[in-house]
Amino acid sequence: MTTFVRLSIFGLVAGGIYFVVASGLVLTYATTGVFNFAHGAFGMLAAFCYWELRFNLGWPAPLVLVLVIGVGAPLAGMMVEKVLVRRLHGAPLATTLVITVGLLAGLIGMAQHVWKPEARPFPGFFDPEGFHVLGVFVTWHRAITVLVAIAVAVGLRIVLYDTRWGHLHARGRGRP
């Protein structure tokens, strides 16, 4: 029974991570009509920026999280949308795929230039503390991962189905 519970918890955590990643891809495609292959590269850049500010420069974690997730990521997304994605609206599928793959390659190249490929220490956000569920120890990191995935699902449901913006994009009348 313990093995079943442990593997179930692992599956929930892995599924939560996959859900958050996939929801970003689906949201981008559903609202702009462009499948952005560079989606993961922006996550990579956010992780590198977090590492740089938090561990290389020694800034406090809460400030860095706000700067990277609350400021940097939205600004990068708005910039790419205004400079690149709007111009791809109505373009052939092959064109949009080649451009987003090119953006992916460019972002990876930029990251390799700024942060040389090497191992970097990245301690966890929380001590290895947690709680027990049916005799299985669950870390706070895993619990928060599942809770964030649930919050993203609920938030996207509300935005896409219960707001004017969501209704416009669902009917194809919204501006990408």
Which of residues 1 and 150 earns the better pLDDT score?
A: 150
Q: What is the mean pLDDT of residues 149-159?
A: 92
Q: What is the mean pLDDT of the chain?
A: 88
Is the predicted pLDDT of residue 101 greater than 70, yes or no? yes
Structure-token match 């064109």, residue found: 95
Distance CA 30, CA 27 (A): 5
Long-range contacts for 45-50 (Cβ within 8 Å, ≥24 apart)? 45/76, 45/107, 45/110, 45/111, 46/72, 46/73, 48/111, 48/114, 48/115
Cβ atoms of residues 73 and 49 within 8 Å: no
Is the predicted pLDDT of residue 51 greater than 80, yes or no? yes
Whole-number pLDDT of residue 100 = 92
Is the predicted pLDDT of residue 54 greater than 80, yes or no? yes
